[in-house]
Amino acid sequence: MSVSAVCPRCGEVLVVRPETPGEGWCHLHAAVIPMHHTVVVAHDEITAITADARVPAWVPDPMAAGWSVTGLAWGGEPGARALVVACAGPAPLGGSAELVLAAEEPGIGLGCGYAGLPGVDPGELIDGPSTAAVKAAGQRVPLWPVPTGDDRAAFVGEAYGVWLWLVTWPAPAAWLLAEDLGLLDLRERVYPDLPLGPPSDHLLPGS
């Protein structure tokens, strides 16, 4: 199920003219790449969305016990230049946690939208020593923490020449990074028992 396109930087619904589907107009951020999303995910839908994407569709591999993919968001057509995979599952100390993995080309502002940062790219936020890392398609990717709201934790790094953002709700759910989280690019392989779950709250930026 596809619904209205939103701004990658704030999640507001955009005006998109049929003759220019690759460009949207946000009343706050002017011309942006429209983000589309689906809240009901199916394996063939994931394959269709990611097949011609220009950026990776990262998902934890293996998925932690009880975790599932809860939604996808993408922007830039043809061939997504920004891709989001949302996951949710049980938090270690009770309650539930959410994870958003976003890959985007520079200049779009999607990861900053999730983190609540004003710019479009992390800039000097990735100076100094990294504090965490993931193993993305087998390669170690250092991650830097970025300042964000108290209800979440956000990290950014670079993989395949584009930004890799990782945002968790609540903040302590960043425990996922404690033991070298592995990531699989769904463009390579959507395995048949990839667990799928109901929509979660933080699929779109600005929420």
* Residue 15 Cβ vs Zn ion, minimum distance, rounded to whole Å: 11
Nearer to Zn ion, 84 or 91 (CB): 84
User: What ranges in the chain are assigned the alpha helix state H?
Assistant: 43-50, 110-115
The 50-79 contact track toward Zn ion, x by CB under 5 A, reads ------------------------------
For the bound state, the minimum distance from the C-beta of residue 35 to Zn ion, rounded and expressed in Å, comes to 10
The dihedral region occupied by 46, where left means phi > 0, alpha psi between -120 and 50, and beta the remainder, is alpha
Among 5, 6, 24, 26, binds Zn ion (CB under 5 A): 26
112 makes contact with Zn ion (CB under 5 A)? no
Pairing of strands 35-38, 68-75: antiparallel
Q: Which of 36/187 has CB closer to Zn ion?
A: 36
- At 123, phi and psi to the nearest 5? 55, -130
Residue of 119, 114, 176 whose CA lies nearest to 149: 114
Nearer to Zn ion by C-beta: 82 or 126?
82
Residues 6+ apart with CB under 8 A from 166: 99, 100, 101, 102, 134, 143, 154, 155, 156, 177
State which of residues 6, 10, 72, 159 lies at the interface with Zn ion (CB under 5 A).
10
Q: In the complex, what is the shortest distance from the CB of residue 9 to Zn ion, in angstroms, rounded to a whole number?
A: 4
Regarding 152 and contact with Zn ion (CB under 5 A), the answer is no
C-beta of 205: minimal distance to Zn ion in Å?
A: 9
CB of 6 vs Zn ion, minimal distance in Å: 8
Q: How many CB atoms lie within 10 A of CB 133?
A: 15
Q: By CB under 5 A, which span of 6-14, 72-80, 157-165, 191-199 interacts with Zn ion?
A: 6-14
CA distance 61 to 102: 15
The reply to whether 7 sits near Zn ion by the rule CB under 5 A is yes
Size of the site for Zn ion (CB under 5 A): 7
Structure token pair of residue 159: 């993989």
Give CA–CA dist 191/68, Å, rounded. Answer: 13
Cβ 11 to Zn ion shortest distance, Å:
7
Residue 89 CA to its chain's centroid (Å) = 16
In the complex, the residues that contact Zn ion under the rule CB under 5 A are 7, 9-10, 12, 26, 28-29
